Amino acid sequence: MGRQIAYDPVEMRRRLLDQFWAAGFAETSLSDLEAATGLNRRQLYNGPGDKRAMFLTALDDFSDVAGRRFLAALEDARSGLAEIAALLRSFVALARAGEGPGGCMVCSASQEEIARDPDVALRIDAYFARIEQAYRTALANAAGRGEIRLSADQLESRAAHLFGLHVALCILGRAGYAPDRLERMAEDAIAGLT
């Protein structure tokens, strides 16, 4: 019972995500969140809770959205070198387009003070692990299909390596680093796969 909410909670979470994605935790104020959602702060507090709780749900939403958009293709059983190359190149294309919030919310958040919060750290670690696992999966698929030859140890290291490139492309993309340099970065990594 009780009065029903006058806004779309799904849309609200989407806008909270956009705001936190673009500006991080510390540099997002409650006033920013009000402006992003069109709600006042008393309404915001009817949702997940305080600013930190809103950030936690935004991190969860990011993992969901970005995981589906970027990692799902690698996590698929049919993935291989082509999907790895496509993903790295997509970051270059995104940097070139300059659209959207920019970069990876988790990568950027990992540099903030709030990353020391246990609940935040848990989510950051989980998303990092998922990225690395996605590359591991795609590499294992490629090896199983005979696209490449890798020992188990090499596969581990190669996955870590690709994860590093992934992070660098996200960080530098957000930083506005020259897309041409990012392209070289990605292409050299792709060339090193075979």
Partner DNA sequence: GACAATCTTCACCGATCGGTGATTAATTCC
Partner DNA sequence: GGAATTAATCACCGATCGGTGAAGATTGTC
Write out the residues near DNA by the rule CB under 7 A: 1-7, 28-32, 39-43, 45-46, 50-52
What is the C-alpha to C-alpha distance for residues 58 and 64, in angstroms, rounded to an integer? Answer: 10
**Contact status, residue 90 vs residue 70, Cβ threshold 8 Å:** yes
What is the C-alpha to C-alpha distance for residues 96 and 176, in angstroms, rounded to an integer? Answer: 9
Nearer to its own copies, 39 or 190 (CB): 190
Considering only 19, 37, 79, 110, the residue that binds its own copies (CB under 8 A) is 110
Q: Is 165 in the site for its own copies (CB under 8 A)?
A: yes
**Contact status, residue 93 vs residue 172, Cβ threshold 8 Å:** no
Considering only 54, 107, 131, 143, the residue that binds its own copies (CB under 8 A) is 107
H-run or E-run covering 138: helix 118-144
Q: Which does 117 bind (CB under 5 to 8 A by kind): its own copies, DNA, none?
A: none
Task: Looking at residues 1 to 30 of the shown chain, list those that interact with its own copies (rule: CB under 8 A).
Answer: 23-24, 26-27
Q: Which does 174 bind (CB under 5 to 8 A by kind): DNA, its own copies, none?
A: its own copies
Q: How far is CA 167 from CA 31, 88, 163, 178, 185, in A?
A: 30, 10, 6, 16, 12
Q: Which does 14 bind (CB under 5 to 8 A by kind): its own copies, DNA, none?
A: none
Nearer to DNA, 52 or 69 (CB): 52
Crossing angle of helices 81-97 and 152-174, rounded to 10°: 10
Which two three-digit tokens encode residue 109? 């958040």
Q: Which residues bind its own copies (CB under 8 A)?
A: 23-24, 26-27, 103, 107-108, 110-113, 115, 121, 124, 128, 132, 154, 156-158, 160-161, 163-165, 167-169, 171-172, 174-177, 181-182, 184-185, 187-189, 191-192
